Structure 1
Amino acid sequence: MKKGVLLVNLGSPDSTDTKDVKRYLDEFLMDPRVIDVPRWARILLVRGIILNTRPKQSAAAYKRIWWDEGSPLIVISRRLQKKVQDNVTLPVALAMRYGSLTLKKGLQELRDQGVDDVLVVPLYPQFAMATTETINVKVEELRKEFFPTMEITSLPAFYNQPEYIKILSKSISEALEGLDYEHLLFSYHGVPERHIRKSDITRSHCKIDNTCCVTPSAAHRFCYRHQCLETTKLVVDALNLQEGTYSTSFQSRLGFDPWLQPYTDRTIERLGKSGIRKMVIVTPAFVSDCLETLEEIAMEGEEIFHEVGGKEFTTVPCLNDRDDFASFLAGKIDEWRIVDHKNAIA
């Protein structure tokens, strides 16, 4: 069987035009693993309420961060794809979970090159129902309908891989070099608390308190909250950060249901009001800079910090297309290729 790789990121509207943004948001928010309520309720919420107000606001936000080459997330993902391709001998395609660069197109691109054994690489360090799981479910649907002879393997979450932590820590260390900062905030994308409970394979471990995420359990394999907190802990250890100089928060909540806390915007506000004047923020749930990092954090977050008396607000770039990150992914691809080859021989 000929092997190939499909890198998968979130996606982006085709342009900053309100119609394109509305089309993108409809696909994204109608995903039952993003807004996990009955379909009738999702239609009422998304198409009856959100899409009547949100697209115009989101289009304005996209305009603030759009590059001449297009969507930052798409541009960066293509750059990463090229670097990974330069480091491996297998064909490497790129797709998005939402938008016009579809998963079906990515799989077809590989099929056209004779590939029938695919490693899907979700570009998310931590597992979440609304990210990795929805990619895997959609890929399986497409395989059954259009590519029934294809073998599909998905790369597991790599949040605690030593080499990944080393690269993430190095990127933070480089951003901190020469900075006189007072606090480092690790901001992860938020998810509803119910997503954590739904992903609990033990059906009993996840209580979202101060103990379950640090108590060993099989549930941690699919627990987004645990994996985020563990990412912070491993980086803190690697950088030898002192207690009280860092914290973890969650951004981008939607609706009125409880989401993972503490919330990033309120944490930034609290830190500023407490007397912190120089802070740095890193977003380890994202590997590519996008709307959530470039606009929500780097722009809106800074505005909040300045409004409450903060002076210096520094954002750490995502790993993007760093050479060491591309090499890390290439290494994971080679591991899969070699192990698969040995198993085939056996």
Structure 2
Amino acid sequence: MNKKAILLVNLGSPLSPKVGDVRRYLRQFLMDGRVINKSYLFRWMLVNLVIAPFRSRKSAKAYRAIWSGNSFPLIRTGHEVAAKLQLALGDEYEVYLAMRYQQPSIESILTEIQSKGFSSIKVIPLFPQYASATSGSVVQEVMRIVSRWAVIPKITFVDKFYDAPLFSKAFTSIAKSHTNIATYDAFIFSYHGIPKSQLGAGTRDHVCLNTLCEYCERITADNEYCYRAQCVRTTQRIARALRLPVARAVTSFQSRLGREEWTGPYTHDVIDAFGMQGKKKILVFSPAFVADCLETTIEIGEEYKDMFHQQYGGTLDLVPSLNTNPVWIQLLRELAIDAAIPTSAAGSKIVPLTKLDISLN
């Protein structure tokens, strides 16, 4: 068979907003050694005795707010994107969608792909910036599964795509179509945070110990996999495309979990700082997410919005994620056929397995 399989993979959602389903999702997600990179015993006790029992009920309430049509936005949007990409690619390709956690699982989809005998598989983790806890985890899970196959076809991975020209173009077009940029006096680019201890895994000779460092202001051959540096670069590209004043476009991080120090500055602290400076209208971008989900719709769109209004009487608006934007589908098509051209040596590219941070243990 000469047909090629394209596997899109996102993070995943619980099967339902029921507390039990949310607890199972949290356990599977947080027991991933790339998400919480501690010893297995410590991780097991932390997740099963502390986080899952106490956090699942609160998270279930938030998930109920975005539950519609017997599904969550992340899953529905994922299927819509896969269908649109299939139309864009044509009969030479077959597009599949999987979730790293819960359903549809990577294993179930790869089993289906294996049964059809494709000549090649291209895996596209739907995370713009590379991080060990996201793209790295997807690669590890895919290789864990296919390593058991008798015949392993050619497999390639897209490691990151934040620097592909169409990525910033897509966010720019969405922002312009949903808002009047000129009416805002501050701009926040909020990314999902990771523990600061994980930042050093993305650099060669540099371990990130400080909230700010010279490496984060530019991408080099030494730090192209540093998550924070990639986020700063993403902010710079989108802000430049929108002609935003550099001093008013801040990179920050949200969704902190636990007491360990995470990537900073934290989004809620940046909102506080803008409020104390007298800013009254903030526009927030969330370029770590390609589809609206709990972190965008609830955390930013409701919690941060209410916080800013109640404490400072201001307005905070969220730029929608890429979702099914046509430019985003065009970018995925280019990634699928190896046509996405990066703007720098550290931009979007297809990489061999050996270049990624992978452990099959």
State the TM-score bracket (shorter-chain normalisation): over 0.9
Give the counterpart letter for 1:136 in structure 2. V
Give the counterpart letter for 2:62 in structure 1. A
Q: Deviations over 1:249-274 (max 9, x none)?
A: 10011111111111011211222232
Where does residue 89 of structure 2 map in the other structure? Answer: 88
Matched, 1:13 2:24: no
Give the counterpart letter for 2:28 in structure 1. E
Where does residue 129 of structure 2 map in the other structure? Answer: 126
Where does residue 51 of structure 2 map in the other structure? Answer: 50
**Cα contact 2:218–2:233 (8 A) shared by 1:** no
Where does residue 318 of structure 1 map in the other structure? Answer: 321
Where does residue 178 of structure 2 map in the other structure? Answer: 175
> For structure 1, which segment, 168-177 or 126-135, has the greater mean C-alpha deviation from structure 2 after superposition?
168-177
**Cα contact 2:3–2:94 (8 A) shared by 1:** no
* Paired residue secondary structure (2:265): coil
**Cα contact 1:73–1:288 (8 A) shared by 2:** yes
Give the counterpart letter for 2:19 in structure 1. T
Matched, 1:203 2:205: yes
Where does residue 343 of structure 1 map in the other structure? Answer: none
Deviation, 1:306, is 1.2
* Paired residue secondary structure (1:99): coil
Query: 1:154-173 to 2 correspondence within 5 Å?
Result: 154-173=157-176
Identity of paired residues, percent? 35
Distance 2:82 2:150 in 1: 23
Distance 2:70 2:328 in 1: 22
Deviation, 1:69, is 4.5
Where does residue 115 of structure 1 map in the other structure? Answer: 118
Q: Deviations over 1:67-114 (max 9, x none)?
A: 224111000111111110110030000000001210012212222333
Structure 2 stretches of 5 or more lacking a match?
A: 341-348, 351-361
**Cα contact 1:189–1:252 (8 A) shared by 2:** yes
Distance 2:24 2:121 in 1: 29
Deviation, 1:134, is 0.3
Q: 1:93 to 1:215 in 2, by over 3 A?
A: closer
Where does residue 344 of structure 1 map in the other structure? Answer: none
Deviation, 1:292, is 0.5
Matched, 1:187 2:194: no
Query: 1:1-346 to 2 correspondence within 5 Å?
Result: 1-89=2-90, 90-146=93-149, 148-177=151-180, 180-200=183-203, 202-204=204-206, 206-208=208-210, 209-214=212-217, 217-335=220-338
Q: 1:15 to 1:164 in 2, by over 3 A?
A: same
Distance 1:205 1:53 in 2: 33
* Paired residue secondary structure (2:262): coil
Q: 1:210 to 1:199 in 2, by over 3 A?
A: closer
**Cα contact 1:276–1:310 (8 A) shared by 2:** no
> For structure 1, which segment, 160-169 or 85-94, has the greater mean C-alpha deviation from structure 2 after superposition?
160-169
Distance 1:336 1:106 in 2: 25
